Amino acid sequence: MYVRKFEADSLEEALGSIKKELGPDAIILKTVTNKGLKGAFKKKKIEITAAISEKNYSKKAKVDNVLSTDQKDKFYQNNSSYISNMINSTSGSEEVGSQSNNMSGAGYGNISLNKSAQIKKFEEAPTAKSSSLDDFLSFSATDAETESEIDQIFKEDKKQSFEDIPKPYEAPVRNERAELHTATESYEVNSEIEEIVDAQRNKIDELEKKIYELAQSFNTVDRPKSRGVTDLVSTLRTLDIDEKYSQALIRKINFEMSEDEKENADIVFEFALKEMINTINTDLPMFSKIDEEEKSTVTLVISDTTAGQSTMLRKIASLKEGSVIIRNKDQKDFKENVTFSEKFFNIDTYTFNTVSEIVQSTRENIDKGINVFIDYKSGSTEVDDVKKFIDGLKRSFENVEILVCLSSIHTELYNKKVLNRYARMANGLVMTHLDQCLNYGSLFNLAIAYDELPFKFFGTGDVVPDDIENATAERILAGIFQIN
């Protein structure tokens, strides 16, 4: 089987080339239209991969051998069915002629070559019963061709039959296919062709993917030309602001600001501050939104390890009169401050070891109209167990808020690890040790990575209840850009 690729500017031109080179029995294996980025590297618009069996190609080649160049051009301009019929008819005549030793009767032997060829126009339609070379010659000649010209092709003195016609040049095939001549092995040939075509297609797909990646990289490359934009890019990178957010911010600045504005560093930084403020999500706690006449609230603060959670909870509880604190474990640092909290803030503190005791105590206080603050440190507790406890609280009580406590002195990676555990259960964030924070950029990255969780409170020291403030975006940006 011969496989060949044809390239042309149009589909009609490519199909015409296939019909002329391989014949009407060719099989189309693949058609590619060179458009888009791939077409920019191609000379032709259409690429067609076609194949033909050795048997059919030999039939066609024998016919081509007895036709002149002009005759071939006219012959292959006809429709495929006509061409196929004529090639098969000629092959049939050849087989009949080869079976007769004296070349008499059917076939073109000594007698048949003396017949006069009919001179007709090539454009006339062939009959459905055409089966001899007379019909083929009658539609291969023009009015200007004479009988003597046809006689030059089939010379009578040599008494030439179709067996004497030289075999056409056969293109070399790969060594591994040389033995595939039987019908039973044709399936393996087709499978090999499909593998080759698939391999070529995969290479093209990989090339297109690389071109796309290069194009995307080119589009995302920072190209700040103005002084103000250049200064902002350097500052954001120094502060460890997320690179994707920085690129999006620079693209917006380049799109919305004029060249003169981008030269002014103050204008550029003011624009960036407004965009970053709108990015940080902050909100008030639930217990501050509900009127005293309504039902009491349950606020659960959760963390993994020491994040200043217990101290932060006492500060939060002191903001609401008539509150109690319930803890899931007895800790020494908390015991030392229990008397202080009860005496100065009128906050009762209860410690329980089991979940059922916590739920029971919470129900008793809610029925009395008291706001409950639960200090829950998960520690080594499995996430599924924590989720079951929180789901139980939400089913048992109406107004429940879950806050995740994080420390500003912990790394961004650690805080994200904690949030990955509890983000789907939580309603907000509480940040402690803001007075000791050395990297406010990590807090901003948390805000954009978990924008569905608003900041609720910031802890700014150890003093209860003074070192606490409602979370604001301005507080984080002031720390990022060292604004007093």
CA 288 to chain centre: 45
As given in the structure block, the two tokens for residue 189 are 């040939």
CA atoms within 13 A on the CB side of 66: 25
Is there a contact between 358 and 386 (Cβ–Cβ < 8 Å)? Answer: no
In 3D space, the residue among 229, 270, 235, 274 whose CA is nearest the CA of residue 251 turns out to be 229
| pLDDT of 448 | 93
Q: Is 451 helix (H, G, I), strand (E, B) or coil?
A: coil
Q: Determine the angle formed by the axes of helices 227-238 and 243-256, rounding to 10 degrees.
A: 160
| The predicted structure's pLDDT at residue 7 | 85
Residue 364, pLDDT score: 92
What's 321's DSSP letter? S
Cα distance between residue 293 and residue 284, in whole Å? 19
- DSSP letters for 337-404: HHHHHHHHH--EEEE-SSHHHHHHHHHHHHHTT-EEEEEEE-TT--HHHHHHHHHHHHHH-SSEEEEE
pLDDT given for residue 449 in this prediction: 93
Quick check: 429 and 453 in contact, CB under 8 A?
Answer: yes
Rounded Cα distance, 457 and 403, in Å: 10
End-to-end, the C-alpha distance of the chain in Å comes to 82
Q: Where are the beta strands (DSSP E) in 242-316?
A: 298-303
Question: H or E element: which one contains 209?
Answer: helix 186-220
The sign of the dihedral angle between the CA atoms of 224, 225, 226, 231 is: positive
Neighbours of 389 (CB within 10 A): 21
pLDDT given for residue 416 in this prediction: 93
Q: Which residues of the chain have pLDDT under 70?
A: 35-44, 91-192, 216-225, 291-294, 329-344, 380, 484
CA distances from 23 to 58, 133, 184, 344, 355 (A): 10, 18, 24, 102, 84
Contacts by 106-113, CB closer than 8 A, 24 or more apart = 107/161, 107/162, 108/133, 108/154, 108/161, 108/162, 109/159, 109/161, 110/159, 113/154, 113/156, 113/159, 113/160
Count of CB atoms situated within 10 Å of the CB of 121: 11
Tens-place pLDDT, residues 32-55:
877 655 555 566 678 888 888 888
- In this structure, which amino acid lies at residue 370? I
Q: Which fold has domain 286-480?
A: Rossmann fold (3.40.50)
pLDDT digits (tens, 9 = 90+) for 94-105: 544 444 343 333
On the 0-12 / 13-18 / 19+ scale of CB atoms within 10 A, 408 is buried
Distance separating alpha carbons of residues 183 and 179, to the nearest angstrom: 12
Task: Supply the pLDDT for residue 36.
Answer: 55
Asked if 467 and 457 touch (Cβ cutoff 8 Å), the reply is: no
Find out whether 425 and 399 touch, Cβ atoms under 8 Å: no
Rounded distance between C-alpha atoms, residue 82 and residue 136, angstroms: 10
pLDDT score of 37: 53
Picking from 309, 314, 280, the residue whose alpha carbon sits closest to that of residue 479 is 280
Distance CA(301)–CA(426), nearest Å, equals 9
Residue pair 16/55 in contact by the 8 Å Cβ criterion: no
